[in-house]
Each structure stands twice: as structure tokens, then as C-alpha cells.
Amino acid sequence: MSTPINCEPLKQLIRTVPDFPKPGILFYDITTLLKDKAGFAQMIDAFAAYYIDKHVDLVLGIEARGFIFGPAMAYRLNAGFVPVRKPKKLPAPVAKVTYDLEYGSDSLEIHLDAIQPGQRVVIVDDLLATGGTMQATVQLVRQLGGEIAGVAFAVELDFLKGRDKFPDVDVYSLLHYNE
């Protein structure tokens, strides 16, 4: 197994925006990290180092920011990439899951033929907050017969305890915030 890469110094590349998207929320803007070529490379290297020995067949990226990390991770892991999309964005037959949000609900879709039974899958997204979106994606993977090799996040907001929704899944986050 590879030695984990310390990503804590990357926090200095993340912009914090108070009161966005609404008053009282402190938003962690990763676009400032993504534009830093060394910082972005270190993130992908850290993900790859963690998953390189886990025999990953597919990396799934959740729309939209999972699309940033997913293809780069898939390339480094010699795996395929599969997009998980909002409704009505995929052209072929899909599996769909609907999940609850704070106010209302949302849905995600994946092509029915995207995952073969038994394939090992890592799902990646930018942020673990309450975990609802990732929980829905895990459900999609299992519905298609995939095996969850792990779920990965650039940033985890520890105080929201989203990790608790995945007691039987390997959760890996590069950066942690407690407020």
C-alpha cells in the first residue's frame, strides 16, 4: 500500500466565501485550488495513491464537480470513467434514484449498461456534507450489481457527519473542515 499524501497544505489554496449561498453558510470554493496546477496534481496524486492497490474497475463522477476529478482519477488508476447525471441528460436507457433534499427532492441517473455485476467502483465528488447525493449514487451502483470499492471526496465537512451514512463503505476525504 502506498504512503498517504498529506493534503493539508492545500487548504491555503481554497477560498472561503462567507454567507454563500445563503446567510450563515461558509462556502469552501475549490475553484481556486483547481486552477493551481501543482495543487490539482497533488489532489489527483493523493486519490490515486489511496486507490491504486484497490483493484478499481470504474470511477464514477457525480455531476458536476465529480466530472473534474473522476476522469483524472480513472486515468491514473487504469480504470474506466462513468458519469452520474441529473435527469434527462443521458441518451440510452437509465437506472434512476430519487432522494430527499433539505427542501424537496432530486434525482440522479446512470446508464443501465454502465456497470457490470461485480465490477469494483469508486465514486468521487467534490464535497461530503450531509451525504445524501453520495448515498443515492451508492444505491445506483448496488442496483446495477457493482461493488463499492470506496467513496472519495476532495473536502469533507466533518461537523455535518455525512460519513455516518456509510458504515459499510470506505470513505476517503483529502481535506477536513470542522466548521
**Is the distance from CB of 153 to CB of 46 less than 8 angstroms?**
no
**Is the distance from CB of 126 to CB of 154 less than 8 angstroms?**
yes
Q: Confirm whether 8 is a catalytic residue.
A: no
Whole-number Å distance between alpha carbons of 55 and 17: 38
Q: 88: which residues sit within 8 A by CB, 6+ positions away?
A: 109
Which residues does residue 106 pair with via DSSP β-bridges, in sequence order?
99
Determine which one of 63, 65, 120, 147 is catalytic.
Answer: 65
Angle at 153 between CA 15 and CA 151, to 5 degrees: 175
Determine which one of 15, 85, 102, 179 is catalytic.
Answer: 102
Q: Confirm whether 65 is a catalytic residue.
A: yes
- DSSP H or E segment with residue 109: strand 104-111
Instruction: At 152, give phi and psi (nearest 5°).
Output: -125, 145
Sign, Cα dihedral of 41, 2, 115, 75: positive
Residues with catalytic roles = 65, 102
